[in-house]
A and B are shown apart, each in its own frame.
Chain A
Amino acid sequence: MKEIRRTNLEIVGGLILSACCITSTWWLMRNNTVNAVKDAKAEKDKEHAEDLRRIEEQRQKEFQMFRSIIDSLLNNKEKV
């Protein structure tokens, strides 16, 4: 009798403990998973922003160069 009572209590205790463990693990995992995805994306986006900035600078330079070529061409035409 006593043994069954003790085993019953042990099983219920085990069930409560495992439920608590699983709940807390998954709660932590939930926050960590989304935050990890967010951090990874933010990191990647920063690199992407850097690349875009470089492209933008290059584009600006090319634009300035074309602009000066066109200006000089127009000036020459006016002189002619």
Chain B
Amino acid sequence: MTEITKAIQDWEEMVSHTDEVLKHRISVYEHSEAILSAAQEEFRFGSSLFNKKDMSFLVFACVLHGMAKYWIRKMRMMNDKELADMNPLHHEEHSTRMNNKYYCSREEIISNPVPFDAIVLDPEYKLPYWQRLKPGFKGTNHRFKALGHDPLLGLVVGTANIITSTITRSDFRSWHVRTEQHERLKRNGKMAIETLDTICEPASTIEMFKAIGERLDKEGKEGWITLGTALTKEVVHLLTDMPSLMSLPLPVISAISPDFAHKLSLYGINTGTIVEGTIANKIINFVVAFLHRLCMEEGEDERLYQARTSKLITVANLIATGGDLTVTLFQAYKGDLKAMRKFDLGGYMCTLGNLVSSTKLINQLECKYMEEKFKLELNRITFG
């Protein structure tokens, strides 16, 4: 009898515990909104940047972004020679071509300037006007008209130009480039003889590529090394031209319409304004995130910390881009025609992209945090 009574008592206890758990769960589910709101408040308070450490990091990130933007502006004010001197891969160049057709030796490639920077036309190139095809390269338009300056097509066409001493226009017509002497009036009023890369008679673009193929066949490994040298020369040249005020056109656009590419560049929409800022922005964001992560203390909630890092980077980006926009607006208002060309468009685009992705990430973290807190509350009393 006592055994039965004991069993009944155990059963009753178990039932009463189940009752308790169920009642607790019903209560948690009923008050879910309040629990989630409390968790949300907790997340927002915990991921706030208003503390000593995050504020110091914010100032640090803003200073880094400010310095990058200052350097970008400074480089845009430099002339081509100053920029070339800054590039460690660049060295003094002189036009000393052997004037062979569709051929440029490796030594010539290294010591000569790239042929698609030539703007001087051979004065002896005097064909009857119905046969004459004016290349039309000038100091102000050659970066948009010469395909060697296209950041994408240039890797193929520009390299081919370097290895064959030719220049190719945006409509894929080519000319030979030779070393010629020119009489030029110097600034001091005296005449001087200068040796310059000179655009001579028309060349065939197909022949140009054929010549490269034949050279690779004939020279074998040596030919491939020469091709690699030409490609390196092309990349170094693009990297030197990119930070300048005129910069490089957007990829492929110059092949479609050089005038449109020129116009876009006048208003600061070119490869330089986009690529430089993007690279600087990504590097700074990575460094700040890495250092912030390193400073995470033991016992700190991972999700809250991740949200703080993301918020920190976004706020620093917004402050830096806001400052850059204000300076550009002020300069444009004051009548600086180059205002937009000095603006960090890549940084601006990165900031907006970062804002979108960071918001998405913080939302996900907040939802997960709320869910976790809710589960924790739900399992506070278990069936045991």
**A interface residue numbers (CB < 8 A to B):** 1, 4-5, 7-9, 11-13, 15-16, 18-19, 22-23, 26-27, 29-30, 33-34, 37-39, 41-42, 45-46, 48-49, 52-53, 55-56, 59-60, 63, 70, 74
Contacts and interface: CB of A to CB of B under 8 A. Distances in A.
A12 B26 contact: no
Contact of A26 (B22, B266, B359): B359
B25 to A, nearest CB: 6
Given A23-B355, A26-B355, A46-B29, A9 B332 contact: yes
B363 A19 contact: no
Specify the main secondary structure of chain B where it touches its partner: helix
Contact of B366 (A5, A29, A34): A34
A41 B29 contact: no
B26 A53 contact: yes
A76 to B, nearest CB: 13
B80 to A, nearest CB: 22
A1 B340 CA distance: 14
Interface in B1-56: 4, 8, 15, 18-19, 22-23, 25-26, 29-30, 32-33, 36-37, 40
B329 A52 contact: no
B337 interface: yes
A59 B356 CA distance: 50
A16 B29 contact: no
Contacts of A15: 325, 348
A23 B294 CA distance: 29
Nearest to A45: B32
